């Protein structure tokens, strides 16, 4: 993640955030999962990647409260 940020590759960091969110969800750490997925969603929306934004929204909606 640090390398992506260092080189200004914000879009690629979205997939890292998404993957970290999925790992956190598997570990039942829903607060961390939500934070990472939300960051990923914001980046996907910024870059107008509607497909990944939709996938990420669905993952967010599926998280327990």
pTM passes above 0.95: no
CB burial of residue 17 (10 Å; 0-12, 13-18, 19+): buried
Domain of 44, in residue numbers? 2-61
Contact 39, 17 (CB under 8 A): yes
The more confident residue out of 6 and 26 is: 26
Percent of the chain whose pLDDT exceeds 90: 80
Q: What is the pLDDT of residues 25-48, one digit of tens each?
A: 999 999 999 999 999 999 999 999
DSSP per-residue string spanning 12-49? HHHHHHHHHHHHHHHTT-HHHHHHHHHHHHHHHHHTT-
Query: What total number of domains does the chain contain?
Result: 1
């Amino acid at each position: 993640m640090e390398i992506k940020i260092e080189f200004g590759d914000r879009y690629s960091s979205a997939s890292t955030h998404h993957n970290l969110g999925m790992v956190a969800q598997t570990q039942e750490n829903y607060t961390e999962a939500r934070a990472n997925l939300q960051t990923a969603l914001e980046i996907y929306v910024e870059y107008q990647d509607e497909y990944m934004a939709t996938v990420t929204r669905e993952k967010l909606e599926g998280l327990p409260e």
